[in-house]
Amino acid sequence: MILVLTLLLFGCPVPAIVMAFKIDERTLADWLDKAGEHAQRVQEHLVCQGQLDLGQVQADELWCRTQRGVMWLATAMSVASRLLIWGKVASGRTDEMVGEVVQHVHRAARLQSPILWATDGFSAWKTQILRFFRSTVQNGRRGRPRLVEWAELHIVQVVKRTYGERIERRLAFGDLFEALHLIAVTQGKRGTVNTAFIERLNATLRTWMPALTRRSRHAGSDQRRLEHQFFLTVAAYNFVRPHRSLRIQVDGRWVERTPGMAAGLTEHPWTIEELLRFRVPSAQKAA
């Protein structure tokens, strides 16, 4: 099972696996569903614990075809560590889809830590970010306490105009000087407002998941299975496969690192077997 799931993760076609291992396609689908559910629990247990200084977070949506119509996938990542924080598959480009991603990023972020959100022009991102990234202010009076946005919260948007091939970069919330400072810190050099990292990640997801390819015969079967496959891919991306741009030089030799290592969540690249055998505490399973 571990060998077959490894081949599936890194692009081996299902018909080839069926012929080589004489395994029924329904068995493969069942393994993929169970592994995806487990990977989602692992992702939530390790990432969404309020311990990460995320710095700059980039978010975007991409669409894909399934056997039941077009689906949308919203994703968010931390630029400094390249950590893919969360994703949500939905039948439409909705506020609820974006809200679930933002909520999990909020659960991952250290309270009141500086954070810059870079998104496209979809208005739901700003609405949901301002909804979740707030803290209560106790004033000693009776009644519900007032909610105030984080002091170090900044939101920038990159809007691509279809006419004239023009790109508009704008500050949607916060301070532009602080936003540019966070861009320089998280990207390692001065830069402009951009969503290049999440767009590059979306391209990576399309190469790992055939169902996300714009022109493909491998349409996803449904929302649930597509989401299971997505989280298995997320876990492999974060903890198994080293990222070339994250390698560091130690004692004269290059050390490969995964996004999970760069974020301080693990000390070594995992194998697929380690991922599948990782024990999530029972309280997390119940949640």
Residue 250: pLDDT above 70? yes
Containing 136, the helix (H) or strand (E) segment is strand 134-137
Angle between helix 223-239 and 2-9 (nearest 10): 90
The band of 287, judged by pLDDT with boundaries at 50, 70 and 90, is very low
Q: What is the pLDDT of residue 67?
A: 72
pLDDT at 60 over 90: yes
Residue type, 228: H
Q: What does the angle CA 57 – CA 240 – CA 219 come to, to the nearest 5 degrees?
A: 75
pLDDT for 13 equals 82
- The proportion of the chain whose per-residue pLDDT surpasses 70, expressed as a percent, equals 94
The residue ranking higher by pLDDT, 94 or 163, is 94
Cα(133)–Cα(119) distance, rounded to whole angstroms? 15
Is the pLDDT score of 134 beyond 50? yes
- How confident is the model at residue 117, as a pLDDT? 97
**What's the burial of 20, exposed, middle or buried (CB within 10 Å: 0-12/13-18/19+)?**
exposed
Minimal CA–CA distance to 90: which of 67, 117, 65, 71?
71
Contact 78, 182 (CB under 8 A): no
Q: For the chain, what percent of residues have pLDDT higher than 90?
A: 64
Residue 74 scores a pLDDT above 80 = yes
Q: What is the pLDDT of residue 141?
A: 76
Q: Is the pLDDT of residue 283 over 70?
A: no
Integer-rounded Cα radius of gyration of the chain: 20
Tell me the pLDDT tens digit for each residue of 39-48.
999 999 999 9
Task: Quote the pLDDT of residue 47.
Answer: 96
What average pLDDT does range 118-142 have in this prediction?
A: 89
> How confident is the prediction for the chain on average, in pLDDT?
89
Alpha helices in the chain (DSSP H): 2-9, 14-21, 25-47, 95-108, 123-132, 176-187, 196-208, 223-239, 259-262, 272-277, 282-286
Per-residue pLDDT band at 214 (split at 50, 70, 90):
low
Q: Give backbone dihedrals phi and psi of 154, rounded to 5 degrees, phi first.
A: -135, 145
The Cα–Cα gap between 201 and 208 comes to 11
Q: Among 3-12, 35-44, 219-228, 232-241, where is mean pLDDT lowest?
A: 219-228
Query: Where do we find the tokens 């696996």?
Result: 17
The secondary structure of 163-207 as a DSSP string is: STT-EEEEEEES-HHHHHHHHHHHHSS---S--HHHHHHHHHHHH
Amino acid type, 137: V
138-145 contacts: CB < 8 A, separation 24 or more?
A: none
Q: What mean pLDDT comes out for the span 163-185?
A: 88
Q: Return the pLDDT at 286.
A: 40
DSSP 3-state assignment of 54? coil
Range of lowest pLDDT (119-128, 163-172, 250-259): 163-172
Alpha carbon dihedral 257, 43, 209, 105, in 10-degree steps, equals: -90
The more confidently predicted of residues 160 and 157 is: 157
Residue 58: the pLDDT is: 97
Q: Which residue has the higher pLDDT, 188 or 221?
A: 188
Q: Is residue 195's pLDDT more than 60? A: yes
More confident residue, 104 or 210: 104
Examine the pLDDT at 81 and tell me if it is beyond 50: yes
